[in-house]
Amino acid sequence: MNSILSLLRAGLRRLTELCMVSLALLTLADVLGRYIFNVSVMGAVELTEILMVGVIFCGIVFATMAREHIVVDLVPIPGGEKGARVVHVASHLLAAGISALLSMVSWTQAESAAEYLDQTTLLGLPLAPVVYFMSIMLFVNTIVELAQLRRDLNADTAHLDQEAQND
């Protein structure tokens, strides 16, 4: 399982790097074109939006893999370690469920975009592949969340004690 996650992490990292470099170069070309040659890059806004989808949705998976989502405890958790474990499992299941639901909804939207041949306004790029990518990344996020839950259930609970002490 670790080799699959390592491969996934490496592939997502390269895709994110490609999107970030493309964003930087596109912005550079657009700014230089506007201020030096008085001509902007046609469709720069549309391309920026599409590249941002790549960065954001890969970033969601990265944040889940690294457990870097923001966590806020609104109420004290009763039951000590056992209560913390229940809340921990419930939060993993809730996050995976929401991610799976968003994945299914966005897949439906992608099918609709493909059926109606939705395109960007200026360049006429098809939108369906972008929405399919969003859906796939949300599904990958669901898998990663469930893999972390499985790993946490099989591991000892020392990190839960540490989290409880930090609160």
Q: Which two tokens stand for residue 94?
A: 């809730």
pLDDT tens sequence across 116-166: 999 999 999 999 999 999 999 999 999 999 999 998 888 865 554 555 454
Closest C-alpha among 68, 27, 18, 69 to residue 48:
27
CA–CA separation, 132 vs 128, rounded Å?
6
User: Average pLDDT in the 75-98 region?
Assistant: 88
pLDDT digits (tens, 9 = 90+) for 26-84: 999 999 999 999 999 999 999 999 999 999 999 999 999 988 888 787 878 888 888 88
Q: What is the pLDDT of residue 164?
A: 47
